[in-house]
Amino acid sequence: MSSIIRVLAAVAIGASSLGLAPVVAQASSDGTQALKITRIKCHATEDNTGADDIYLVVDGTVIMNSIQFTAGDDKDIADIPIEAGKVLTVMEGDWPDDDDNLGAKRINGAGNYEFTDDGAHYTVSVG
């Protein structure tokens, strides 16, 4: 056994004796993987008269209040929880007109989801 492998084995044994475990995704109460929305990138806005006022909706409930985006903005989001299998809708506030639906996607796991309806283009990252 090479010295590198022996050192790695010793480190692994030492870490396990300290009660350290690898970091893994936590499960929700129903046993599915807990997911979080972590980032939103604006490639193109829907609104032609300024910034988009983006908010997120799941099952008719607003899960993220409005944040302004202009084309090119790439913003970290404060880890908003979302359950796998839920449908995420990206909305753009247009007071006093009706708000614009920029798309809806079923969240099946970690990844990047593209929302391109109504002339906009947003990427929502889920981890």
Cis peptide before 96 (omega within 30 of 0): yes
Q: Quick check: 21 pLDDT over 50?
A: no
Confidence of residue 47 (pLDDT cuts 50, 70, 90): confident
Query: What residue type is assigned to position 86 of the chain?
Result: K
* CB hemisphere CA count around 11 (13 angstroms): 7
Average pLDDT in the chain: 81
User: Cα(25)–Cα(127) distance, rounded to whole angstroms?
Assistant: 9
pTM, entire model: 0.75
Average pLDDT (2-14) is: 37
Q: What are the tens digits of pLDDT across the range 54-103?
A: 999 999 999 999 999 999 999 999 889 999 999 999 999 988 889 999 99
CA distances from 72 to 39, 55, 57, 60, 81 (A): 13, 17, 22, 28, 25
Residue 97 to residue 47: CA distance in whole angstroms: 12
